[in-house]
């Protein structure tokens, strides 16, 4: 459980207009070694990695590696890890990609239910294991409200099953993200130049047009979330609400 107990409504009022670095510094002071940052090494991941490590050098950075990332994602991860001196903690499913496919088939081709199963195996279970092993009390990550309709409902500080989930750049529009990357000379994911705006696994990521939401090219249009940041189903939403999210 979250220690010390937090007044989430008061915190969201306090940090409503604050700079992301103020919220990150508060989280560091409040949670110490229990604070972690997650990353996907996606299109704009460099922003959060740079922002957070400037305030909390050496923070544990969790990467849930599905084993199905683009080859460019792995080289990009290596580049950012070296450049920003990341304390990277890589977690993966206990099922290798080959074994999972042999036992369960190509889950990403089996509709929404197949994608849900895929995400539970390759993303959610490894995340939960990472949180247990690293004794996580608070989790910094980079969703933004303008990415999907579901993310509009997020708050800057939330209760996520007893963990304080914190979104420092939640209110940033895309132009602010791009301006930050330019200001600090941060490299883009190599696939951005090919029209990929939101980048995940190779089998469920497509390029998008300029008029579409950032995550419109994810999961073959069946969904826009994998369950790491917002519930995938009504049942999961009910579960989150029952624990005070």
Active site residue 243: no
Task: Return the pLDDT at 245.
Answer: 22
Task: Return the pLDDT at 2.
Answer: 72
Task: Return the pLDDT at 124.
Answer: 95
Q: Domains in the chain, ordered, with CATH?
A: 8-242 (3.40.50.620)
Q: Is the pTM of this model over 0.85?
A: no
Rounded average pLDDT per 10-residue block, the chain, 245 residues: 82 96 98 97 95 98 97 98 98 97 96 94 97 97 87 92 95 94 96 88 76 45 50 43 27
Task: Return the pLDDT at 209.
Answer: 44
Of 226, 229, 230, 232, the catalytic one is 226
In SS3 terms, the chain reads as CCCCCCCHHHHHHHCCCCCHHHHHHHHHHHHHHHEEEEECCCCCHHHHHHHHHHHCCCCEEEEECCCCECHHHHHHHHHHHHHHCCEEEEECCCCCHHHHHHHHCCHHHCHHHHHHHHHHHHHHHHHHHHHHHCCCCEEECCCCCCCCCHHHHCCCEEEECCEEEECCCCCCCHHHHHHHHHHCCCCCCHHHHHCCCCCCEHHHECCCCCCCCHHHHEHHHCCCCCCCCCCCCHHHHHHHHHCCC
């Amino acid at each position: 459980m979250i220690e010390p107990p937090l007044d989430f409504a008061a915190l969201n009022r306090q940090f409503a207009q604050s700079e992301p670095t103020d919220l990150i510094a508060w989280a560091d002071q409040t949670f110490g070694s229990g604070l972690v940052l997650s990353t996907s090494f996606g299109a704009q991941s460099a922003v959060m990695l740079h922002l957070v490590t400037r305030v909390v050098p050496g923070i544990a950075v969790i990467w849930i590696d599905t084993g199905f990332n683009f080859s460019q994602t792995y080289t990009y991860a290596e580049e950012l890890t070296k450049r920003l001196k990341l304390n990277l903690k890589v977690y993966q499913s206990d099922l290798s990609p080959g074994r999972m496919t042999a036992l369960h088939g190509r889950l990403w081709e089996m509709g929404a239910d197949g994608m849900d199963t895929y995400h539970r195996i390759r993303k959610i279970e490894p995340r939960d294991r990472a949180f247990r092993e690293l004794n996580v009390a608070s989790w910094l990550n980079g969703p933004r409200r303008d990415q999907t309709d579901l993310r509009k409902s997020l708050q800057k500080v939330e209760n996520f099953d007893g963990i304080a989930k914190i979104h420092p750049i939640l209110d940033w529009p895309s132009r602010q993200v791009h301006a930050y990357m330019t200001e600090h000379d941060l490299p883009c994911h190599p696939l951005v130049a090919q029209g990929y705006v939101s980048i995940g696994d190779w089998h469920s990521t497509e390029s998008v047009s300029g008029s579409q939401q950032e995550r419109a090219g994810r999961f073959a249009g069946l969904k826009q979330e994998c369950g790491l940041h917002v519930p995938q189903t009504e049942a999961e939403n009910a579960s989150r609400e029952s624990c005070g999210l």
